[in-house]
Every structure is written in C-alpha cells, then in structure tokens.
Amino acid sequence: MATIKKLNIPGFEEVVFCQDDSAGLKAIIAIHDTTLGPAVGGTRMLPYETDLEALADVLRLSRAMTYKAAASSMDFGGGKAVIVGNAKKAKSEMLFRAFGKFIQSLDGRFLTGEDVGTSSDDFQIVGRETKYVIYPPENLEPKWEPSFLTAFGVLRGIQASVMDVYGSDSLAGKKVAIQGVGKVGDQLVRLLHAEGAKLTIADLDHSRLSEIGAELGATVVAPREIYQVEADVFSPCALGGILDDEVIPRLRCKIVAGGANNQLVDERHAEELWKRGILYAPDYVINAGGLISALYEMGICDRETVIRKTAEIYDRLGVIFDTSRSAMISTQAAADRMAEERIRQAKRDRTTNK
C-alpha cells in the first residue's frame, strides 16, 4: 500500500514522506522554494540509520539547491529527495516505479534526477511513471555528463580562488588535496593534473585510490590525514558535513574549494574559516555545474551555452570574494546575500505584475 504524509516544516513549501511497502520504498521529498521556478534537485539513496537523519539531510540539501539556482541566475527553485536504503542491495524496478508515481503526484513542482547512490539508468525507470525527471540523453559523450560539468565548474572555481589569493590563476605547481575520488572527484583530479597541479588524494575506496594515484602520480593518504596535508587548496569532493570545530583547526591550506554539497556543519563555520584567513568558495556556487547541465538535458539550451554558463562560476566567485572583503563578511554570507536578493527581486516583480 502506497501512502504519502505531508510534514509541516517552517521555511519549506512542501515536505512529504512517501512509503510503498510492497515496493520496499521509503522516501522523503522536500520542496524548499519555487519563487524562481519549479524546484530542481537530485535524489540520493543512502542507508540512513533513522528517519530523522534522512529528514535532516533532505532539508539541508533542498535549501542549498534554492541558493544554488538563485546564485547561478537560473530560473529554478530548490528541492531534493532521499530514498532510504542500501543502493547496492535494495534497488529494484518496483521501487523506482513507485518513486516515480510519487514524483508525478507533485504535478511538476519538483524535477529530479540522479545523485549519490542513484544513476541515470535508475531514472530511466522512474521516467516510466512521470515526465518530471531529468537524465542525460542516450550515448552522451563523457565530457557532457553532469559529473564532468560539475568537476569543470569546480576547476574554474579553484582557479578563481587561486587568482584571489595568489594573483594568478595558474595551477601549475599548486598543491591540491582532494577528499573523495568518486564521480566528480575522479574527473576533477584529471583536470587538475592536466593543469599541472601537485595532487594528494584520499578516499574510502582503497583500490580505486591506489589506481588513480599510480596513474596520475598523486600522493595517496588515509581519509583522516587529508585535512592535515599542507596544500594551497583543500578540495572536499565526498559527502558533506566535514567543516566543523574539529576539522577547521587542522587545515593547513589557504583555500577550501570543492564539489561536495553542504560542506559546512553550521553557517558559523564559514566565519571561522574567514577569521583564520582561509578563503572558502561556497559549495553551492562552485559545484553548480551539475545543475547547469540540466539545462541541456531538458532541451533548454545547447552544449556550448552550458559550458559558458559553467565557466562563469569563475566570475561569480570573483564577485563574491570582492563583496566579502568590502562588506567584511564571510564568503558564505556574501553568496547568501547574492542569492537572497535575486529571490526577493523575483517576489517584488511578481507582486508588481499582478
């Protein structure tokens, strides 16, 4: 039996708990804000220990998507979905078709696609039950996949950050420590290697780590050691929630710029980085390449436009860094100010046009 329960969460337009026991599905969908357009956000599948843990994750992620879209000048709102389950064991056609029916019930207010633990193949199945899914066209070239475009945007963000700190955006000889070499991290280390950066990498997948290290000549360290590596740039590209009171004092870098979502455990940690003289590239700005790629997947624009818009992450971060200095606020606060002003302006325009 399929059931859907609406949760009243202040600050969110709609949060629904979805369950279909016959399909083995338990999921939460969160729509944070649709002022700028329909909510867009991926669906991740993880074995959350509790429903509260899953709820906390989907709320954080959906809010970040609102800011990501707003800061990237895209006409989308923010949303996210999580499926509770082991992605290696619990996937089935029934599960994803059941999930598709729940997405369809939202009548286009939420568009979704792959994320951690899910794939474009999974969303081909979801798409049998709803048209409100986003996935790459068949036979998509690797350089047009969302993971590559996300990595390309992170590369441009790292270059902008290096320019701000060192006065040149050349990465030749720059030391970069990358945490996580999954879909995005793998692409990023290759781009950085091509730019001449000196790489140190860490990941929980030891065999994959050793393989990439040998191929690219990167130094391999244990996951907990990556924070203390002396580097110009620390690039978090695994799961979020890593920059906290324990990790920040251990950092030996000038810049934090990576592809992971929700890197800060709390907003105050952005100010802590700022006070320590560490330049932080706000995650929802630097990792927006994957969201921007949705424009091509949805047929809204061509490939060249997607590349151009992703490359503009460099300029957008430059504005944020300048605002941070002039206003004497953290870079996170400066990015939030940019995103919130765009949303406020959209609301004013909507009121004026009524």
Q: Which amino acids are annotated catalytic?
A: 80
Strands 14-20, 2-7: pairing kind? antiparallel
Cα–Cα distance between 232 and 275 in angstroms, integer?
A: 17
Please list, in sequence order, all residues whose beta carbon lies within 8 angstroms of the beta carbon of residue 238, skipping any fewer than 6 positions away: 179, 180, 182, 185, 203, 204, 260
Q: Which two tokens stand for residue 128?
A: 């049998």
Q: What are the φ/ψ torsions at residue 339 (nearest 5 degrees)?
A: -65, -45
For the chain, give the longest Cα–Cα distance: 61
Look at the block and give the residue holding tokens 């009121």: 351
Q: Which two tokens stand for residue 51?
A: 């429903």
Query: Which one, of 113, 109, 74, 112, lies nearest residue 285 by Cα?
Result: 74
Between vectors from CA 26 to CA 61 and to CA 24, what angle results, nearest 5°?
Answer: 145
Query: Which one, of 96, 91, 135, lies nearest residue 112 by Cα?
Result: 135
User: Taking a C-beta distance cutoff of 8 angstroms, is the pair 12, 28 a contact?
Assistant: no
- Amino acid residing at 203: D
The string over 9-27, giving b where at least 16 C-beta atoms fall within 10 Å of a residue's C-beta and e elsewhere, is: eeebbbbbbbbbeebbbbb
Q: Which spans in the chain are helix H?
A: 51-71, 93-104, 120-126, 146-166, 183-194, 206-216, 268-275, 283-286, 289-297, 303-311, 313-327, 331-352
